[in-house]
Amino acid sequence: MSDHGRFGGPRFAQLDDDYKVWAAYQRAELKKEKLWKAVVMDRLASGSDDKKADPVVEEWDEMNEAALATIQMSVKPVHLNTVTSVDTAKVAWNAPKGMFEARDNAQLLRLMEEISSLKKGDDESIIKFTSRAKMIRDELAMLGNPVDDNTRALRVLSGLPSEYGMLRTVLENKDVKLVMSDVTAQLLQFEQRNIARGSSKPAGGVTSHAFTVAAPKKPSDNKSVVCYYCYKKGHMKRDCYKWKADEAKGKNKPGGGRRDGGHGGGPQAGATLAYTASAGQRGSSKDHGST
């Protein structure tokens, strides 16, 4: 919205979207120029047959022409056709009013539906929820339909989820009218308690579980392990490749072809047993026992 120039035009903003502000300034301007009568009064009938000679009619025609020009200069180009397609200042004054009233009525219906179906979103905080309700209230007030504090508080309470059920019941059954600032403060306290309660309960379990999952397993010291089959370090018998190979060939079974006659203990143990057996055959049982 821009102002007119300095050459005798109106000093207020031209009509764009805010009809009520424009109408207030336009009315003041027409009254200041003594042209308001042309808007509120119809053209007077002439007292004689010669209308041009009637000074009253001439005065009204001049007033109407000046008022119409003033109205036409005070609108944006988008509304110019509305005020230039008429002959009197009265019609030019009422034409934008009807257009804007129709638009405001449609907007009013939309806002009334929004405030009646107001619901708090799942991820919406109390501050955002109450602020959204205030914006709707402000828009309704601009359209001439203000909502009182008690009604707005009740609309907010009706839009809360079930977890606010007890607090909502207490507030709705008060004997006095609700004050929105007090209701908002109690809702914020309830929200903070829920947040604190929700963060404290699962925090320990989640942290301990996360610690358990994230804690690295202590590696086993395989260097100190000795396989009692092949007597090599770094693995156990169940992981011994030689034992698995001998198992596959059947050497670990009784009578399976091993030199130690099926006894376990690996190749070194088998060699020891063979040496003992040969020594027993060569010497006597006494010597063997001594040995």
CB atoms within 10 A of CB 229: 22
Domain membership of residue 216 (yes or no) is no
Distance CA 129, CA 166 (A): 19
128 and 192 share one domain: yes
- At 220 the pLDDT is 53
Decide if 169 is inside a domain.
Answer: yes
Quick one: 168 and 240 in the same domain?
Answer: no
Whether residue 129 contacts residue 156, with contact meaning beta carbons closer than 8 Å, is answered with yes
Q: What is the DSSP letter of 11?
A: S
Residue 256, domain member (yes or no): yes
Looking at the fold, whether 58 and 135 belong to one and the same domain comes out as no
pLDDT averages per 10-residue partition of the chain, 291 residues: 46 76 89 90 67 74 91 88 89 87 87 93 93 93 89 94 92 92 94 83 47 48 72 80 82 52 47 45 45 34
Instruction: Give a yes or no: residue 14 inside a domain.
Output: no
- Specify whether 76 is located in the same domain as 124: no
Note whether residue 188 is domain-resident.
yes
pLDDT score at 248 = 82
DSSP one-letter code for 234: T
Q: Is residue 151 part of a domain?
A: yes
pTM > 0.85: yes or no: no
Q: pLDDT at position 279, please? A: 47
Q: Of 105, 132, 148, at which residue does a domain stop? A: 105
Neighbours of 219 (CB within 10 A): 6
Give the number of domains in the chain: 3
Q: Check whether residue 131 and residue 180 sit in a common domain.
A: yes
Distances (CA, A) of 173 to 96, 167, 170, 190, 248: 46, 10, 5, 18, 85
* Residue 88 sits in the same domain as residue 165: no
Which of 76, 105, 134 marks a domain boundary? 105
To which residue do tokens 């169940």 refer?
238
- According to the model, what pLDDT value does residue 3 have? 47
The reported pLDDT for the residue numbered 216 is: 52
Q: Can you name the residues that pair with 233 across neighbouring β-strands?
A: 226
Same domain, 93 and 39: yes
The reply to whether 184 and 260 lie within a common domain is no
Do 152 and 96 have their domain in common?
no
SS3 of 107-149: HHHHHHHHHHCCCCCCCCCHHHHHHHHHHHHHHHHHCCCCCCH
In a domain, 174, yes or no: yes
| Containing structural domain, residue 99 | 19-105
233 and 180 inside one domain: no
Is residue 214 assigned to a domain?
no
